[in-house]
Each structure stands twice: as C-alpha cells, then as structure tokens.
Structure 1
Amino acid sequence: MPFSAAREVPGLIVKFGDYPLHHGGVGAIRSLGRLGVPMYAITEDRYTPAAASRYLERAFVWPTTGTEEPERLVEGLLRVGRRIGRPALLIPTDEEAAVLIAEHQGELTGRFLFPPVDPGLPRRLASKQGLHELCVEHGIPSPSAAFPQSYDDVVGFAEKTRFPVVAKNREAFERRKQPAVNGTTRIVSREGLLTLARDWGEHPGVILQEYLPREQAEDWIVHAYFDRNSTPLALFTGVKVRSWPPHAGMTANAYVVDNPELADLAARFIKQIGFTGIIDLDLRFDRRDGQYKLLDFNPRMGAQFRLFESESGVDVVRAMHLDLTGRTVPEGEQRAGHRYIVENIDLPALLAYRRSGYTTPHAPARASGTELAWFAGDDPLPFLTMLARFVRPGAKHLYQLWRTNHRGGSTRSGSRPRAGR
C-alpha cells in the first residue's frame, strides 16, 4: 500500500440504537485495522460481528436506543474516550451519531477527531424536508414534494396529485419513535392515501413525494470525503443493482461505474452548502427528463462504503483518517467494474428482482473484482457471527418484508433497514 496511516490515532465506531448486524461498521474496522490503526467500537453486546473482528482492540458495550437525551450520549462518548486514553477519530454509522457529533463539537473537541462541519448542517441534510429545501435553493434536481401540516392538507394534495406517490417520514429520527410510515411507502390511490393519513395524527410528520417509476429510472450512489474547504479528497460513483427491501432499502448488490456528470453534480452541491466529512448519497436517474434526482443524503459513512476504493488503496474512511491526522490523501482512479455483495440479503433481493423484471443497464456484464460485506479470509469471525445471529430471526424478518412488499391493497411499503444503505 503506497501510504501509511497515523497508527497513534485510533478509530472509534459510533453507533446509537439496536442494529447489531451492520456490515459498514465491520468494514471500517477492517479498513483502518489493516493499516495498523487501533480500532474500537460501541456495540450492543459482546457478540456482535463487529466485536468479533480480529482488527478490533476493544468493544465498548453500551446499549442505546438513539432517543436518549443528547447530554447523556455526549457524556457516554466522553467516558468511552477517557477509557481509550488518547484522541480517537469518530466514525458515525447512523444519522443520530453524525448529528450529535456535529451539534456538540465544543464538548467533544480535544478528546476526539472529526470533520469541523457547520453544526446545524447534518441534521438538515438528514431531514427529508431540509434536504428538499436545500436542493431547491441550490438548483439540485429532486423529486417534487409536499409537506402536509394537517389532514386537510393531505386531502387537498390527494385531489390534485397524480398517483402513485411515495410517503416517507419527514425527519430521519422519527424511525426511533412512532413513525408515521414504515420506511418508503408507495401509495397507488387517493383512497389508500387518505386511509393511511387518518393514522398520522394532527400534524403529519411525512413527506409526500413524486414517484419515479423504476421502469424509467436507475439507482445511483455517490460516496465521498470532503476536507474543511469542501474539496473532495476521495469521490466515487456507482450503480445500485439490488436493494432489500426491493427498490426501497439497503444496498444488496452494487457496482463501481464511472459517472463524471454525477461526480460533478455531487461536488458542486457540497461546495455550495459547505459540507465537510463523509457523504453517502442516493440518487435516481429519471430517463424521462434525463436528470439525476437526489433522494437521500446521509452525512456519514454508508454501510456499503467498501465498494469504493481507489487504485491507491483509499476509501472514504481512510481518506478521513489521513486528512484529519495531517497526512496527504493519495490520488487515484476508482476501480471501475468492482462489485459489492451483502451476502445475507442479496439472495432474497435477487429472487425479488427477477420476478419484477428490473434490470440495471449500467451494471457490467462481468465484475472486475468482488468485495463481500461480511466474509474476509483474514477476518472470518464477523461472517460466522452474522450467520449465527441472522439465520433464524433474519430469515423470519426477510419473510415478513417479502410479505409486506407483495400484499394487496392500496399501498406497498418496505421497512428501511437501520443505519444507511
């Protein structure tokens, strides 16, 4: 590898909530651990895949829900930092952690390293409404959207809109409480919308969004790391082949595909809003008007970030560690044609996509290489731990999601898996 990392600066995986089967955290532990960086992680218990990695120095068992008071979470982070005993790089794996770090930089500075982002920006980007408003403000294409404030607003929307439409929770954090909708929900009729809306309360916490038909669209992803000047030090583009739940959830299979237009769009938007740090973007290319429309902005590492690595061996986590420890991030082209597979969800996704007839034109006929989310020859225990925890409850969960996506009625919904795609 043509560069060395600052081995005296450890990394800490920060996650809030109960989602032990998170391959992104395992990927970050391996990525920096293979460079000799001491790695630590906050885990739900001692038997998560992350805790089983040979590259993990220590797991700090700290069960959380993500709904705790920020002061309690900050104090817990500081307590973990004191136990590590030296400044550590924070690597959040969910929006709650990313927002907490941004909004409490004053308390965390000195004990930890993290990008110096505008404190209010990650929360706004993680919000569906905040993101839509930023897109409108800066001329970035996004699906047309409405933000009803009452049931009457929903009725008015239903009278003039064209179905189907998509309903999502307006704020990212609503999934922790009592979400209005169960993930991304496709609504096919006026009656279906009004029926759902009766359960949304006096002030619906939803966004009603234009539906981009998958027959006329392609799902693209952008992962990047931007320095304090909002300059990209690592920027990658790829196409999502399959997700689980189908067409609405976590990436199950994806390829690296060069897309200069998309890279320029992402870099321009980040420069305009002044973001610093790691991003994970989901966009849908609408063949009807030839536009890439921004759907989701995750102001943190995405679960599938290990799809992307430059020819110099740099991924977004390594870029952040190098930059924040004062080292130069080597330049290098992305590995076009490389493939990423999440073993425990790609098979059911493959079966579902075959039934739907959906294909991704930009997916290469043959991969130039494959990165598995869970299995690694030099670190097999996370894969085995995943299997042990996934087989029975995981299979039941996949079946429930399949039933949800194939039941009749006016809606088709999918429960979005925790912590990024």
Structure 2
Amino acid sequence: MLFRADRDVPGLIVKFGNYPLHHGGVGAIRSLGRLGVPMYAITEDRWTPAAHSRYLRRAFAWPTTGAEEPAALVDGLLGIGRRIGRPAVLIPTDEEAAVLIAEHQKELAELFLFPSVAPELPRRLASKQGLHELCVEHGVPSPAAAFPETYADVEDFARHARFPVVAKNREAFVRRRSPAVPGTTRVEDRAHLLALARGWGDRPGVILQEYLPREQAEDWIVHAYFDENSSPLALFTGVKVRSWPPHAGMTANAYVVDNPELAALAEQFVKRIGFTGIVDLDLRFDRRDGRYKLLDFNPRMGAQFRLFESEAGIDVVRAQHLHLTGRRVPEGEQRAGHRYVVENIDLPALLAYRRSGYTTPHAPERPAGTEYAWVAGDDLRPFFTMMARFVGPGAQHLYRLWRSSRRAVTK
C-alpha cells in the first residue's frame, strides 16, 4: 500500500430498510477493515452477512423500513454515534440514508464525518424526475421521458408514444409505500400501458421513458469520489455484463473497462451540479446515435464498488475515508480488465442471458482478475451466512423478482 489510513477514525455502514443480503456493505467493511480501520454497521439483525465479517467491530441491530420519520432516524443515528464514542465516517448504502444525512448535516456533524453537499441535491438526484430535469438543464443526454400527473395524461401520452416504452417509479423511496410498477417495466403497446395505468391511482407516481433496445445499446457504470470542489479524487469506468432481474436489476457481473469519454462526461456533469461525495452512475450507450445516456445517479456507494480499485489500492470508500480524515488520496490507474461477480445472482442471470441470446459487446474474453462479492479467503463467514439466508427466502425473493419482470414484459 502507498498510504496509511487513520485507524483512530472508525467507519459506520448506514442502511435503512430490509435487505440483509447486501454485498456492498460487506465490501465496505472489508475494504476499510483490511486497513485497520475500526468498522461498525447498522444491520437488520445479528444474523446478516455483514454482522459476521471478521472486520466488523460491532453490529448495531436496528430493523427499519425507510418509512420512519426523519427525526426518529436522526435520533437513532446519534444514539449509535454516542455508543461508538468517537467521530466516525458515515457510509450510506441506500438513497434513504444518503438523503437523510444530506438533509440533517447540522445535527449529525457533531458525531460524524461525511461530505458536505447541498442539502437538497441528493434527494433530487435520487428522483427519476429530478435527475431528468438536471440532465436537461445541463445538457447531459438522457432518455426522453414523460411524467404523467393523471390518468388522462397517460391516455394522452399513449396516443402519441412510440412503443415499447419503459415505466419506472418516479421517486427512489419506493420501500416507503407500494410501488406502482415492479422496478423497470417494459410496456409493449398502448393497451398494455392503459391496463397498467388503471392500477396507478389518481396520481400516477411513474416516469414513462424512451426504450433503449438492448440489441443497440451497452450498459456502462461509473463510480467515483468527488471532493469539496467537485473534483474527482478517484474515478472508475466499467461495463455491466449481466444484471438480475435480467437487463433491469442490480449488477451481477461486470468488468473494468477504460473509457475516457465516459469519465469526462461524468466529471463534467458532477462539476456542473456541484456534488461532493461518492457516486454510482448507470449509463446506457445508444449505438443508434452514439451517445451515453444517463439512467441513474446514486448519490452513495454502489453495491458493486469493489469492482474498482486503482493500482495504488484506492477504491471510492477508501478515497472518502482518507479525504475526510485529512489524508492524501494517492493517484493511480484503474485495474482494467478486472471482473466482479455476485455469486448468488450471477448464475440465474447467466442462464437468463443465454436464453435471450444477448451478450455485452465490450466484455473482455478473459478477466485480468476476479473480485467476488461474497467469497474472500480472509473473511469466509459472510459467504456462509449469505448462503444460509439465501436458500429459501432469499432464493424465493429472486424468483419473484424474475417472474415480475417477465410478466411486465410479456403482458
């Protein structure tokens, strides 16, 4: 290693909602824990994979839904901070946590370290409508979109739309209520759209978006950490090979691929909006017009962040901890050609992609190395805990996601 982390400043994984099989949190615990940083985590219970990492000092079992009042969540965080007993770097793993931290910086600053960002910005970025408006404002390509306010608006859209289209939930915080659609839903024709819209109520909480056909597109990802001047201290690009549910879910398999054009696009956009902190971006390259179109801007650590590490040993979580503790973040090129695999979802994703006949054009044939989400020779217990929870309820949940995505496409 070309650097030393401040071992007097702990890290705290902050997550709200019930998703115990979260490999990103485990990755962050390992990443900083291997540097000797004391690690703490909020977990659903004491039997999550994160709670069993050898690098975790303590798990704070705090089951939440994301629907709690912000004041209650802030009070709970402050209580955990007091139990830790010294300022800790906050590492949110979901939009609810990232938005809460941004909107309550004054209350949390006494006990925690985190990037200072415009309080309203993370919520706007996490919203599909807010992100689309920012893209339009700053000239960043994104899929054409409509935001119907009534069923009549949907009917009007259906008369003029070019199908298929994509329907998504407009806001990020779908765990707080019943979502209008099950994730990303492909809508085949006018009749299908109107049938779906009848179940959306008087005020549809959806975005209707241009469909970018996968046969003419490539899925790319950008992970980065930006300082207080919105300058990147670590910036990485890669290509998504498979996701689960297929073509519309979380990353199951990805590669590091150097892409200077994409890196410049991401850096310019973040500079224009003035964001500070870790970002996880999803973009789709549309070969029909040669443009990268921004689909998602996650103002937080992405679950697959451990795909990316520089030759100096820096990932985005390490970059944040070093920067917030006043240490230099060493420069270094990304490890091009490295692969990331999420074991429990990549096999079903592989089978589904083979059935569809689709492959990612930019996926290297032979990886330079592989980072597994769960298996680690120096920290095996999270893998076995994941397997114990995955068999049964976890596998059934993945199956329901796959079935809902298939029904959405085939209706």
Smaller-chain TM-score range?
over 0.9
Q: Where does residue 59 of structure 1 map in the other structure?
A: 59
Give the CA deviation at 1:393: 1.6
Q: Where does residue 213 of structure 2 map in the other structure?
A: 213
For the pair 1:326 / 2:326, whether they are aligned, the reply is yes
C-alpha distance in 2 between matches for 1:394 and 1:21: 8
8 A contact 1:282–1:297 mirrored in 2: yes
Amino acid at match of 2:244: W
Give the CA deviation at 1:399: 2.6
Q: After the TM superposition, which of the residue ranges 198-207 and 84-93 deviates more from structure 2?
A: 198-207
Q: Where does residue 14 of structure 1 map in the other structure?
A: 14
Matched residue SS, 2:237: strand
Q: Where does residue 116 of structure 2 map in the other structure?
A: 116
Matched residue SS, 1:353: helix
Give the CA deviation at 1:398: 2.7
Matched residue SS, 2:263: helix
Amino acid at match of 1:274: G
Deviation readout 1:225-275 (Å, 9 max, x if unpaired): 000000000000000000000000000000000000000000000000000
Matched residue SS, 1:317: helix
Deviation readout 1:154-209 (Å, 9 max, x if unpaired): 00000000100000011101333111111111000100100110111111111000
8 A contact 1:310–1:334 mirrored in 2: yes
Deviation readout 1:132-165 (Å, 9 max, x if unpaired): 0000000000000000010000000000001000
Question: Runs of 5+ in structure 2 lacking a partner?
Answer: none
C-alpha distance in 1 between matches for 2:130 and 2:246: 26
Q: How many residues align?
A: 411
Matched residue SS, 1:81: helix
Amino acid at match of 1:255: Y
**Alignment map for 1:21-170 (pairs within 5 Å):** 21-170=21-170
Q: After the TM superposition, which of the residue ranges 121-130 and 388-397 deviates more from structure 2?
A: 388-397
Give the percent of matched residue pairs that are identical in Structure 1 and Structure 2. 81
C-alpha distance in 2 between matches for 1:144 and 1:231: 29
8 A contact 1:189–1:410 mirrored in 2: no
Give the CA deviation at 1:407: 4.1
C-alpha distance in 1 between matches for 2:196 and 2:406: 18
Q: Where does residue 351 of structure 2 map in the other structure?
A: 351
Q: Pick closer, same or farther for the CA change 1:408–1:340 going to 2, 3 Å.
A: closer
Matched residue SS, 1:279: strand
Matched residue SS, 1:172: coil
C-alpha distance in 1 between matches for 2:291 and 2:10: 41
Q: Pick closer, same or farther for the CA change 1:168–1:406 going to 2, 3 Å.
A: closer
Q: Where does residue 245 of structure 1 map in the other structure?
A: 245
C-alpha distance in 1 between matches for 2:249 and 2:329: 32
Give the CA deviation at 1:404: 3.0
CA RMSD of aligned residues (A): 0.9
Q: Where does residue 225 of structure 2 map in the other structure?
A: 225
C-alpha distance in 2 between matches for 1:275 and 1:409: 36
8 A contact 2:182–2:405 mirrored in 1: no
Give the CA deviation at 1:392: 1.4
Give the CA deviation at 1:2: 1.1
Q: Where does residue 416 of structure 1 map in the other structure?
A: none
**Alignment map for 1:236-315 (pairs within 5 Å):** 236-315=236-315
C-alpha distance in 2 between matches for 1:405 and 1:277: 32
Deviation readout 1:256-309 (Å, 9 max, x if unpaired): 000000000000000000000000000000000000000000000000000000
Q: Pick closer, same or farther for the CA change 1:409–1:135 going to 2, 3 Å.
A: closer
Amino acid at match of 1:217: A
C-alpha distance in 2 between matches for 1:120 and 1:267: 20
8 A contact 1:13–1:40 mirrored in 2: yes
C-alpha distance in 1 between matches for 2:406 and 2:144: 26
C-alpha distance in 2 between matches for 1:374 and 1:408: 30
Amino acid at match of 1:185: T
Give the CA deviation at 1:410: 5.2
Amino acid at match of 2:287: R
C-alpha distance in 1 between matches for 2:401 and 2:71: 35
8 A contact 2:185–2:409 mirrored in 1: no
Give the CA deviation at 1:110: 1.9
C-alpha distance in 2 between matches for 1:374 and 1:131: 32
C-alpha distance in 1 between matches for 2:410 and 2:370: 39
C-alpha distance in 2 between matches for 1:407 and 1:62: 34
Give the CA deviation at 1:409: 7.1
Q: Pick closer, same or farther for the CA change 1:286–1:16 going to 2, 3 Å.
A: same
C-alpha distance in 1 between matches for 2:403 and 2:223: 32
TM-score normalized by structure 1?
0.96
8 A contact 1:5–1:35 mirrored in 2: yes
C-alpha distance in 2 between matches for 1:323 and 1:134: 27
8 A contact 2:237–2:259 mirrored in 1: yes
Matched residue SS, 1:181: coil
Q: Where does residue 414 of structure 1 map in the other structure?
A: none
8 A contact 1:277–1:300 mirrored in 2: yes
Give the CA deviation at 1:109: 0.6
